[in-house]
A and B are shown apart, each in its own frame.
Chain A
Amino acid sequence: MNYSRIALIALGATLTASLIAAPVDEKLVIDGELEMTTVAPSPEGHPLPEVRSGWHYRTETTRALEADSFENPGMLGVEQGEELWNTVEGTAGKSCASCHQDAAETMAGLGAVYPKWHEASGKPINIELQINACRVNNMGAEAYKFDKGGQKPLTAYIKHQSLGEPVKVSLEEGDMQAWWERGKELYYKRTGQLNLSCASCHEKNNGKYIRADHLSQGNVNGFPTYRLKQGNLISLHNRFRGCIRDTRAEYPAAFSDDLMALEVYTTWRGQGLSVETPAVRQ
Chain B
Amino acid sequence: MNLTRRTFLTASASAAVAAFFGSQQAFASLEDLNKALNDYTGGAEPGEGPLTLTTPEIAENGNSVPVSVLVESPMTEDDHVESVMILAEGNPLPDVATFHFSSMSGEAKASTRMRLAKTQNVVAVAKMSNGDFYKVSNNVKVTIGGCGG
Contacts and interface: CB of A to CB of B under 8 A. Distances in A.
Nearest to B143: A212
Contacts of B6: 4, 7-8, 11
Interface in B1-24: 1, 3-12, 14-15, 19-20
A46 interface: no
Given A59-B56, A196-B3, A239-B149, A212 B144 contact: yes
Contacts, number: 91
Given A243-B149, A246-B148, A210 B60 contact: no
A210 B11 contact: yes
A182 interface: no
A245 interface: yes
Nearest to A62: B60
B146 A210 contact: yes
B14 A246 contact: yes
Given A8-B5, A12-B5, A205-B3, A211 B146 contact: yes
Contacts of A8: 4-6
B106 interface: no
A215 B149 CA distance: 13
Contacts of B146: 209-213, 215
A212 B17 CA distance: 12
A246 B5 contact: no
B8 A211 contact: yes
A5 to B, nearest CB: 9
Interface stretch (B61-69, B85-93, B121-129): B61-69
B147 interface: yes
B60 A245 contact: no
A194 B7 contact: yes
A245 B149 contact: yes
A196 B11 contact: yes
Output the residue of B4, B11, B56, B58 with the most chain A CB within 10 A.
Answer: B11
A200 interface: yes
A282 interface: yes
A130 interface: no
A152 B65 CA distance: 24
Q: Is the interface of B mostly helix, strand, loop or mixed?
A: loop
Given A246-B11, A248-B14, A15 B60 contact: no
A122 interface: no
Interface stretch (A88-96, A101-109, A162-170, A227-235): A227-235
B67 to A, nearest CB: 11
B47 interface: no
A58 B145 CA distance: 12
Interface in A229-282: 229-231, 239, 242-243, 245-248, 282
Nearest to A208: B8
Q: Which 5 A-B pairs have the closest CB atoms?
A: A242-B149, A210-B146, A213-B146, A212-B143, A211-B12
18 contacts: A4-B6, A7-B6, A8-B5, A12-B5, A15-B5, A61-B60, A73-B64, A194-B11, A196-B7, A200-B3, A213-B143, A229-B61, A229-B145, A230-B63, A231-B63, A243-B147, A243-B149, A245-B149
Given A12-B4, A15-B5, A211-B144, 11 more contacts: A11-B5, A59-B59, A62-B60, A200-B7, A201-B3, A229-B61, A242-B148, A243-B147, A246-B14, A248-B14, A282-B60
Interface of B: 1, 3-12, 14-15, 19-20, 56, 58-61, 63-66, 143-149
